[in-house]
Amino acid sequence: MPSAAVHRLPAGAPDDVSAVERAFAEGVIDPRGVVAVLGKTEGNGCVNDFTRAFAAAEFRRLLARHAGETAAGAVCLVMSGGTEGALAPHWLVLERREGGRGPSPALALGRAHTPALPPEDLGRRRQAVMVAEGVRAAMDDAGIDNPSDVHFVQVKVPLLTAARVAAAGARGAEVATQDTLKSMGLSRGAAALGVAVALGEVGAEAVTDEVIGRDTSLWSARASTSAGVELEGHEMIVVMGMSGRWAGPLAIDHAVMADQVDVEPVRAALARLGLDARGQLDADQRRRLVALLAKADPGTGGSLRGRRHTMLDDSDIPATRHARAFVGGALAGLVGHAELFVSGGAEHQGPDGGGPVAVIVERGA
């Protein structure tokens, strides 16, 4: 029976994979078992953030050296830029081990790569459909049958570049937007709705070209999608959930923040997994919390609980950077540290201004 291990390791720079290499050398991680690497890198998280590609390139080479080209090519590398505030750059290495023991059901991991997405499909229903199929494949890979056992789906999606827009145009195809920054949001949004369809949160017929990026009432409680120029045209999908076909000490649950300060649902999710805290987690609870993954978003309304904020009007700092810093602070206040996977741009991921949060916990004895 397989067992999932999650290794949270520090990154000294976007290309600093030394902690992972050391874990390989010491036998802590078997490189051939690596399913995915989720990385928080220290760029701006927007269009010209090359720290994601730099990290992905180094990991691709590291994995090829240790596990061979084929295995390395199958690993999902999901780099998410932006460590605003005190958020710590780090890697989450997700590993599948055989011969797992311990409690079951337990944390289960699955992955899938979709075929290449034509530029003109990006940000449209066809992208959502493709992602929904990918999520189902990743659920199969994870041994999860029931969508309600899925607690987080991390998807890395492509974006449009001037070159891709031109390539589509040369074939007479029209893209959803010519604005490359906007294409990031549309791509994240379409993929999130694909997750929602696969998990039964939104009906497949509701996901039309028109609603993507517009109808904020449609959302997934468990999708987290990141865009990056380093991806050619396909998506990488990682499913995390609970499965009776997996055993091991780790468990996962999720929560939905309704807005940027709504940390109480996260506290409740932690409590359900045995980390019941009045205020901040104590040192032992902190140690047992293996990973926290969350989406942060400024929302479209320009206010939080009736009070105006200025994230959307600030022409010096992108709104997603503000949101990651602030939501990162709110979650760090709850957890007691800031090595958290807080990702920005939550289109169709949680309600407007809010976002999904997953917590992975080592169960007590």
CB of 238 to a copy of itself, least distance (A): 23
As measured in angstroms, the least distance from the Cβ of 350 to a copy of itself is: 15
Catalytically annotated residue among 156, 220, 243, 343: 156
Nearest to 274 by CA among 193, 361, 332, 167: 361
Separate counts of helices (H) and strands (E) for the chain: 9, 14
Q: Judged by CB under 8 A, which of 3, 51, 154, 349 binds a copy of itself?
A: 51
Identify the residue among 196, 263, 292, 360 touching a copy of itself (CB under 8 A).
Answer: 263
Regarding 87 and contact with a copy of itself (CB under 8 A), the answer is yes
CA distance 281 to 301: 32
Identify which of residues 32 and 61 has a Cβ nearer to a copy of itself in the complex.
61
Q: Are 168 and 175 in contact (CB under 8 A)?
A: yes
Residue 86 interacts with a copy of itself (CB under 8 A): yes or no = yes
Catalytic residue among 220, 226, 243, 343: 226
Stretch that binds a copy of itself, among 29-37, 64-72, 139-147, 307-315 (CB under 8 A): 307-315
Rounded Cα distance, 248 and 110, in Å:
16
- The CB-of-231 to a copy of itself minimum distance in angstroms stands at 13
Count residues binding a copy of itself (CB under 8 A): 73
Of 119, 74, 123, whose CA–CA distance to 96 is shortest? 74
Least separation, in Å, of the C-beta of 281 and a copy of itself? 11
156 counts as catalytic: yes
Say whether residue 180 binds a copy of itself (CB under 8 A).
yes
End-to-end Cα spacing for the chain: 20
C-alpha to C-alpha distance for 161 and 119, rounded to whole angstroms: 9
Of 1 and 64, nearer to a copy of itself (C-beta) is 64
**Least distance in Å: CB of 125 to a copy of itself?**
23
Q: Taking the CB of residue 31, how many other CB atoms lie within 10 A of it?
A: 21
Residue ranges in 275-294 that form contacts with a copy of itself under rule CB under 8 A: 278-280
Residue 337 interacting with a copy of itself (CB under 8 A): yes
CB 192 within 8 A of CB 212: no
The helix (run of H) or strand (run of E) holding residue 114 is: none
Q: Considering the rule CB under 8 A, would residue 272 count as an interface residue with a copy of itself?
A: no
> For strand 34-41 and strand 90-97, is the pairing parallel, antiparallel, or unpaired?
antiparallel
